[in-house]
Structure formats: structure tokens, C-alpha cells
Amino acid sequence: MDCYTANWNPLGDSAFYRKYELYSMDWDLKEELRDCLVAAAPYGGPIALLRNPWRKEKAASVRPVLDIYSASGMPLASLLWKSGPVVSLGWSAEEELLCVQEDGAVLVYGLHGDFRRHFSMGNEVLQNRVLDARIFHTEFGSGVAILTGAHRFTLSANVGDLKLRRMPEVPGLQSAPSCWTALCQDRVAHILLAVGPDLYLLDHAACSAVTPPGLAPGVSSFLQMAVSFTYRHLALFTDTGYIWMGTASLKEKLCEFNCNIRAPPKQMVWCSRPRSKERAVVVAWERRLMVVGDASESIQFVLDEDSYLVPELDGVRIFSRSTHEFLHEVPAASEEIFKIASMAPGALLLEAQKEYEKESQKADEYLREIQELGQLTQAVQQCIEAAGHEHQPDMQKSLLRAASFGKCFLDRFPPNSFVHMCQDLRVLNAVRDYHIGIPLTYSQYKQLTIQVLLDRLVLRRLYPLAIQICEYLRLPEVQGVSRILAHWACYKVQQKDVSDEDVARAINQKLGDTPGVSYSDIAARAYGCGRTELAIKLLEYEPRSGEQVPLLLKMKRSKLALSKAIESGDTDLVFTVLLHLKNELNRGDFFMTLRNQPMALSLYRQFCKHQELETLKDLYNQDDNHQELGSFHIRASYAAEERIEGRVAALQTAADAFYKAKNEFAAKATEDQMRLLRLQRRLEDELGGQFLDLSLHDTVTTLILGGHNKRAEQLARDFRVPDKRLWWLKLTALADLEDWEELEKFSKSKKSPIGYLPFVEICMKQHNKYEAKKYASRVGPEQKVKALLLVGDVAQAADVAIEHRNEAELSLVLSHCTGATDGATADKIQRARAQAQKNQ
């Protein structure tokens, strides 16, 4: 324990800084770092090196080489740089490598050296060249700022949604500024630049000169400037070896330091920790590293090798050819516990636990001491917190063990913080592993969130580890395992050397029916890689056919999409596909497709019926569906056509269609209708009145009612109206007219095919008992009783019924016997019944 604080360096009175090794680098670098363009992503991200960037020769052997390593120096990718000269490299928030070329083109590469896309920083750059460029991070994503040969700045605050902003000119700027940086304040990106003794702030509208408050006099030039990770603080290094530190808004000075070194530093970065009051800047020269802050002294380190600084949220990473170190302010909890001779509760607890392990009674003493002060809870918390900030698992363990020991003596200490810390540390230790090479600190991890960390693991294709972490943390499947499996599958489909079948099978085996995995997304990726067949195979696994449709449409498999849409039962989806097909195919093909899909066909027909009648006709024509075509024209004959000629013509077309459909009946009926229409027209001309659109029956009736008996009969003959109907019709019409004379004549014209009972009924309906009686006598024997009853002749009805010896008729008559008048009749029937029974 004595040596534990050996690497702690005090800065002023209140803070310690320590530097420890993360990795010894495994890369076999031949070049010095200074001969390369270097870019390292924050949050323990990858390192990109571009070797020989400045060679102008075209020889292949000396072409620049772009290498990408993990933070532990494991090679991730290596490629020969074939494009133009690169000015600057930088990593975006999504861990994409942005390479800014001299001609203003920005090439975007993935973590594995896969080319993603490129964009340009504007046309004017083509002539002027890019002198310098910075990649910076904003709330929106990652930005790029460039300085052109014309000493103008252009920036884009978010390369994901590229909007170039050309910054205003700096008045009187003749040469490149001595140093500059991109600032991000209030969601707006600015440029801060130094020209000689002056500082200028460029926003999108204006260029304004600014002066840092309390700047020491005698400055003739600024050599370096540094903005903190959160853009809150700014540090300026002047040619007098003086460092000014203040807020980025340049409104307030925090502190200053004079290091008396006039050589321009190679790098200067902020080293501070969130929520800590301490501010410090790390300045690096060729062989010297200096930590300066609000103290008269600075901490100095000697650099054995060429090193590179990477600012982090809570410290600075320093890597060289052989090592990778982390320099940070010692967190408060650790300081409390490990400070020499600390009496903080955490320190005592740690001590107590150690004594306990040694089975020494001192353990009790220490514990008692903490408890007496009532600080046990605090002690446990301290230990837990400090464990989080330790890099070495051994130290983490001993602190956690102490916390766990202290917890035993506490009632109701919420276990969450302990459990979560254990989990987090386990995850952190896993990703810090040499092979993975993501040296995240606890604070960085919390800032990054587990989701992003998982994304980064996925990006590094570390699927098994990501899945293990998900399972270990028991993340919901949809967010965790299935998402990662889906990513894995998306990667898998890019393996072009594996056959479609194998890929599809492998994916299905792994994914199965895992909830939340969308096969259609994976298929979309496969299609994106140009593997249409694979995409279709993958879609087969998609359980919801509705999900398959949009991609199938995109892949121009419209017909397959149609059948899938139909399978889904979602008519809206079918309709979407239909419209797609309609635009994509020529009419003939479209109709042919429909022909094989009755469900889609009927849907489309319904639409056409209301919206596109002509199409409907074409549709029937195409299908040779003469029956429907006939029906279509029939409908047109009364719905669409006004003039009689048009109507007849429509009917003629209909009749032809019916003949073709071998529907003789419909054809004949249609032809009859044509004849009828023409005739009705003639009738209207000759007789006046309304005939058109009446049915045949009504036409004849109207004629009779109008007294045109001859014509009516002629019409009935022409159209072969059956006798029965004609009799019914005439009977009704004449009764309506109350033309009893004509009715009688008619009744005697020949033997009625419908009998005479209807005559009786119809007369009674018109309340003409007199006429009714005339016909009652002529009614046939079977219906005679009924007829007699209708006219109210109960007595005679009884006689007939008795004569017929028909039991049913007898009861019928009997039921009509009401009141005194029919008493005699009733008796008669009863007697007849008795008689009949006797006879049996």
C-alpha cells in the first residue's frame, strides 16, 4: 500500500495527478509517430495512422499506407492510400474515419478500412487547397472545419447532414493563422483563430476580435490553443512561454502559468474530470510533458519516445510506439482512501477489511471507529466509488471486498450501487482486455451508455462478447441479444465468398424466431450488398408477410410482392403493390398478373368500378370475360347512356358479348330489351305518356290502362307473354279501371288459364260483391267453397262443402259461421259431419 500512491503527483495543494499504463503497444511500428498523420478516437477508440503522408512520389512502394489499430495496438485494417494527399484525419462520433484531402474531398472509412462514402467541402477548395483541417464533435454529431489556401474557413457542424458554411473573411489576414480551433457554443460552431497578437472569433455572420481577460502583456503571438472536451474551457500558449487558461467564452480567466519554454509545444490538451473543480492542461514537447494548472509548480514528465495525446472526458491518453498510458486527476474517492495517512471512513474500512482477513482484532477497532462517527454508509459508498476508478482488477476487488465487508454491518443498505458497480466493472474489464482494446474509464462508460458501447462492440464485429454482455446484464432481448444477432446477420450477408444457401441457413440457425429480429431488415442489407437472391431467401424466414412486401417491391419482385401482400391479408398492402405494378408494368402485363390473383383482381375491379370504368372494360376484354363484359354494357345502357340510340347500341354490344360467352339466354333477353326499348319509344311518340324503362309487364298494363287493348295484345304476342301472365295482368288492370263490362267480356273470351277464383278475389278487393258473385259460380269445384266464402255466401258454401264431403272445407266454412244468421248453416254442417261419421 505504501507504494500505491507512488505515481501520484501533486499539483498545487488540492489535486493529485497520476499516470498509469493501459497497454504496452503491440503494434510493430517502423516509423516514428512524427512521420505519420495520427488520429485517435475518444472514448478509448481506434487509432488511425497514415504513413508517408507527405511523400509526393508516385512509386507504389512509397505510397502512403493507412493503418487502423485498436487502442491496444491490434491491427484492424491496413490499406494502401491511392487517393490524393491527405491533410488531416479524424474520427467521427460513430467511429468513422474522416480523411480530409488537400482538394477538399473528405473520404469516409469504416473501422475496418471499408470505404463508406465521400463528400466535398466546397468547390472553391479545388483551387486553393486545404491548408489545415479539424474534425470536432458537437451535439449533432461530428463536424469538419477547414482552412483553405485563401485563408478562408469553411465548416460543417454535422457531416451526417452536410451543410457547408463558409465563414466570413478575416480582415487583413495574409498568412495562415498561427493556430486555430473550432469552438462549439450554444449549439453553434465557431472558429477561434490567432493572428500575431490578436484573437478573432468567427461565427457565420461576422468576424470579431476578442481579447482574453487578464492576459499577461508582451504577447506577440499565440503558438497553441486547446479547447476542453466539453468546449467549456480554453487554453492559450503564447510565444513567451505563458499559458492562459479561461472559459471558452473568453469572459473569465481561471488561471495562468508561465513555463518559460518558448519552443512551440507539439500538443496541448485539457485534462480535467467532470464535476471536479480542478483545471489542468497537459502540454507536450518533443521529450517533455508538463501538467500545469492553478498552481505555481507544474508536474513534469520526461517522454522517452515520440508520444501523442488524446483528450478524453476525464483525462488524457498518451500513446507512443511502445506504451499507451492514461493521465488523469485522481478522483476524490480514491484520494480520500489512498492519501497517505488518510482517516477518511473509506480508508478505515479498507484497512478494517484487511485486518479482518488477517484475523486481527484491529479490524474491530477500525470498524468501531467508523461506526462511532456514524460514517459506515459513507465508507461503503466511498469504497464502491473508488473501485470504479481503479484500473487494476486486484485493486477493484479489494475495494469491493471492503465495501461488501462494511455492508454487513449496515441495515438496509440499498444493494443497487454495489451490484451495479460489480456488473459495470466486469463489463469494463472485459472491454479493456488487450484483445478488445477499449480502455474506457468508468466515467467515460457512464457517459457513453451501455447501448453505445454495445454498438461499438458490434462495429468491431465482437458479436460474441456483445451478446455475453447483454446476457450478463440481462438486457431485454429486443434491445440486446436480438439486436446484436441482427447486426451479426447483416455482417454475415456481406461475406461474399459464402453461398446464398449457406448464409441464409446459418442466419436462420442462429436467429431462429428470436423476438425483435426483423428478417426483412437483414434482407434489405443483403439487397444493399447486391445479393438479391439471398435477400429473397432471407425474406422467406420473415414470419409477417406484410414486412416482406416493401423490400420485394424495391427489388422489383413485384409479382412476388403481390402474392406476399395477398398472403398477409392486408388489403391496403395489396393495393399499394397493385398501384406499384400498374406503374411498373405495361397494361397488358399488369392485367395478366391480376388474372392469376383473384383477390387482387377483385380489389382492383372494385376500385375501377368507381374510379376508372374504362379500365374495367379493358380488364374484362383482356380476360375474355364476355359474361362480365355483357353485364358491363347492360349497366351502361341505363346508367351511362342517355339517348335511346346509345342505349340500344350498348345493349347490342352486350348481346354480342353474351353470345360470345355462350349465354344464349342473356343474349336473347338483351335483344328482347332492345326491341322493347325501340317499341316503347314508338309508343311514346304515338300515344304520348311514359313508356320508356317500364318492364314488359308494366308496358302492357299501361297500354291496357290507357285503353289500347289491341296494342297490348299485339305486344303480348310479339314478346310471347304467357297466357297466364296476360290474364293476370289484364284482370288486374281492368279491375283497377273498374271496367267491369270489359272484364266480363274478357272472362268470356275463352276459358281462363288461371281459373276464376282470381276474378272473385279481385272484385272483392275492389269491394264489388255484385261482380264477384258473377264469377263465383264459374269457379272450379276445388276452389268453389273458397270463392263462395269470399263473396260471403256461407250457406251455399256449406252446401258445396257437404256435397264434396271434404272435412277441411267443412271446418273452413264452419269457421266463417258467425253470429245468429249463420246458425242454421252451422247446424247443417254439424249434421252433415255426424252423418259422414256414421257412414264410415
Residues that bind another protein in the complex, under the rule CB under 8 A: 544, 546-547, 550, 563, 566-567, 569-573, 575-576, 579, 596-599, 601-603, 605-607, 610-611, 627-628, 631, 634-635, 638-639, 665-666, 669-670, 672-673, 676, 693-698, 719, 721-722, 724-725, 728-729, 732, 754
Which of 703, 670, 666, 674 lies closest to 686, judged by CA? 703
Which cell numbers in the block locate residue 146? 477547414
- The minimum distance between CB 609 and another protein, in angstroms, equals 8
DSSP track, 109-159: E-TTS-EEEEEES-STHHHH-EEEEEEEEETTEEEEEEEETTS-EEEES-G
- The answer to whether 302 touches 318, Cβ cutoff 8 Å, is no
- The minimum distance between CB 722 and another protein, in angstroms, equals 7
- Assign residue 306 a region: left if phi > 0, alpha if psi is -120 to 50, beta otherwise? beta
- The minimum distance between CB 470 and another protein, in angstroms, equals 20
- The minimum distance between CB 546 and another protein, in angstroms, equals 6
- The minimum distance between CB 553 and another protein, in angstroms, equals 8
Which cell numbers in the block locate residue 648? 340500344
Neighbours of 180 (CB within 10 A): 23
330 or 636: whose CB is closer to another protein? 636
- The minimum distance between CB 547 and another protein, in angstroms, equals 7
- The minimum distance between CB 677 and another protein, in angstroms, equals 9
Q: Pseudo-torsion of CA 385, 386, 392, 398, nearest 10°?
A: -90
467 or 700: whose CB is closer to another protein? 700
562 or 829: whose CB is closer to another protein? 562
276 or 768: whose CB is closer to another protein? 768
* C-alpha–C-alpha distance, residues 629 and 636, integer Å: 10
**CA dihedral (782, 785, 790, 796) positive or negative:** positive
| Residue pointed to by grid coordinates 388474372 | 595
Q: Spell 573-597 as b/e; 16+ CB within 10 A means b.
A: bbbbbbebbbeebeeeebbebbeeb
Q: Pseudo-torsion of CA 619, 623, 625, 629, nearest 10°?
A: 20
234 or 573: whose CB is closer to another protein? 573
435 or 724: whose CB is closer to another protein? 724
60 or 639: whose CB is closer to another protein? 639
Report H helices in 186-310.
Answer: none
Neighbours of 558 (CB within 10 A): 22
Per-residue H/E/C for 502-534: HHHHHHHHHHCCCCCCCHHHHHHHHHHCCCHHH
CA 36 → CA 45, 253, 523, distances in Å?
Answer: 18, 35, 41
Residue 70, helix vs strand vs coil:
coil
- The minimum distance between CB 542 and another protein, in angstroms, equals 12
Residue type, 297: E
475 or 694: whose CB is closer to another protein? 694
- The minimum distance between CB 359 and another protein, in angstroms, equals 52
- The answer to whether 743 touches 734, Cβ cutoff 8 Å, is yes
Residue 319's H or E segment, with its range, is strand 315-320
- The minimum distance between CB 636 and another protein, in angstroms, equals 11
403 or 549: whose CB is closer to another protein? 549
133 or 636: whose CB is closer to another protein? 636
**CA dihedral (439, 443, 447, 449) positive or negative:** positive
101 or 545: whose CB is closer to another protein? 545
249 or 518: whose CB is closer to another protein? 518
- The minimum distance between CB 646 and another protein, in angstroms, equals 16
- The minimum distance between CB 628 and another protein, in angstroms, equals 8
- Assign residue 688 a region: left if phi > 0, alpha if psi is -120 to 50, beta otherwise? left
